Structure 1
Amino acid sequence: MSAHYFEERPQSASRPGTVDLVLPDLHLRLETDRGVFSPEKIDLGTRILLESVPRPPQEGDLLDLGCGYGPIALTMASRAPEARVWAVDVNRRSLELTGRNAQAARLYKVSPVHVDEMPPEPRFSAIWSNPAIRIGKPALHAMLTRWLDRLTDDGVAYLVVQKHLGSDSLQRWLGEQGWQATRHTSRAAYRILKVTR
């Protein structure tokens, strides 16, 4: 993992690579690069999220918050081909990779968008995220508040967080903010938190 994956323009020199995303219902080869999250392999937390959450809603707007090179966004798009999937990140290298990976997979309803360029209108019936815990609690809380507030009334967010990186305290904080936050899955020291209004 690069220490700078949450920078807008990574300083690390490009070193393109590929990883395989293999799930029971999906097999994709994805372009990666230095300066993005988990460029050497699909992150274990991301894999647990994708293996354990229910299928996303089949229409409407879906959000991958912190898309990296796109494994979550492309899985959402594959499982909900009529929905629009917004792939949001601060890292422009990540957004370029997500766009190329979506085109290569012919998943044309994936829209990679910088966090500051996201249109204000869409509200999300599902948010899936492996959030950037390492940005620190104040920034993490601000990010989650910003995007969870855009859930539809019946929308559901699934967040994967390592136990030793604060999943239980994050669950408590979400509850204190008025969200219903429950543990959907616990596996290999990761928690999948289900968040609803």
Structure 2
Amino acid sequence: MSEDHYFTAQPASAAERRALTVRLAGRDVEVETAGGIFSPGRIDLGTSVLLRHVPDPPAAGDLLDLGCGWGPLALTMALEAPEARVWAVDVNERALDLVRSNAARLGLANVTAVRPDEVPDDVAFAACWSNPPIRVGKGVLHDLMRTWLPRLRADATAHLVVQRNLGADSLATWLTQDLGMHVDRRASAKGFRVLDVRA
């Protein structure tokens, strides 16, 4: 894995920030992105598919964006559920800095951008929206799912978007057979599956 890959803690590429206008929660907003993170030039196609098909987030409680990048999912949840606390979780420090500055720029005090080990153990999530980092490999991905999905509240759903040809169906099978989760396919679009995952 190159040291500049987006799922490393400290990307080696230049951190020069650039402005980007995107549509989140039905409005055009300006955010900052930078190299060395996932999809720095736009909202990637998978995240766009998820945003089109995911239901509104719960109005309150703790919400999780797992693998947040510069924050399109976390920022959307925070805009749509201002009374909720949104946890934007990533290993990439540059991505976390961008989420923090983007949340501040949009006046979103309800976003907490942290590394995985900084989320208190007693936090249980009312929902999870995630475009998980499939390219980290099956073992690491499965560890992520084993770590975070059991932290959903009993009434909560995780909404995951996974590219079909990168293993969406095999992940759904694994979640059902190995983790004992209930998995439904919410949507298929543009080569992606949106999966609803519940305990």
Q: Scaled by the length of structure 1, what TM-score is found? A: 0.96
| Residue 40 (structure 1) shift | 1.1
RMSD (CA atoms): 1.2
| Residue 138 (structure 1) shift | 0.3
Q: For the Cα contact (< 8 Å) 1:61–1:85, is it kept in 2?
A: yes
1:21 corresponds to: 22
Q: For the Cα contact (< 8 Å) 1:17–1:33, is it kept in 2?
A: yes
2:54 corresponds to: 53
Match of 1:187 among 181, 186, 189: 189
| Residue 119 (structure 1) shift | 1.2
Aligned residues: percent identity? 51
Q: For the Cα contact (< 8 Å) 1:19–1:42, is it kept in 2?
A: no
Correspondences of 1:40-119 after superposition (within 5 Å): 40-119=41-120
Correspondences of 1:131-142 after superposition (within 5 Å): 131-142=132-143
2:125 corresponds to: 124
Structure 2: gaps of 5 or more residues: none
Distance 1:24 1:88, change over 3 A: closer
| Residue 23 (structure 1) shift | 4.6
1:32-91 superposed Cα distances (whole Å, 9 cap, x missing partner)? 000000001110110111111110100010000011011100000011110000000000
**One-letter amino acid of the structure 2 residue matched with residue 179 of structure 1:** M
Q: For the Cα contact (< 8 Å) 1:17–1:39, is it kept in 2?
A: no
Alignment partner of 1:74: what SS?
helix
| Residue 92 (structure 1) shift | 0.4
1:135-173 superposed Cα distances (whole Å, 9 cap, x missing partner)? 000000000110001000001000000001110100100
Q: For the Cα contact (< 8 Å) 2:24–2:72, is it kept in 1?
A: no
Q: For the Cα contact (< 8 Å) 2:91–2:116, is it kept in 1?
A: yes
Q: For the Cα contact (< 8 Å) 2:159–2:194, is it kept in 1?
A: yes
Q: How many matched pairs? A: 196
Alignment partner of 1:149: what SS?
helix
Q: Matches of 2:28 and 2:92 in 1, distance apart?
A: 25
1:152 corresponds to: 153
Q: Matches of 1:150 and 1:59 in 2, distance apart?
A: 16
Q: For the Cα contact (< 8 Å) 1:66–1:88, is it kept in 2?
A: yes
Q: Matches of 1:31 and 1:109 in 2, distance apart?
A: 18
Q: Matches of 1:183 and 1:107 in 2, distance apart?
A: 31
Q: For the Cα contact (< 8 Å) 2:64–2:88, is it kept in 1?
A: yes
**One-letter amino acid of the structure 2 residue matched with residue 4 of structure 1:** H
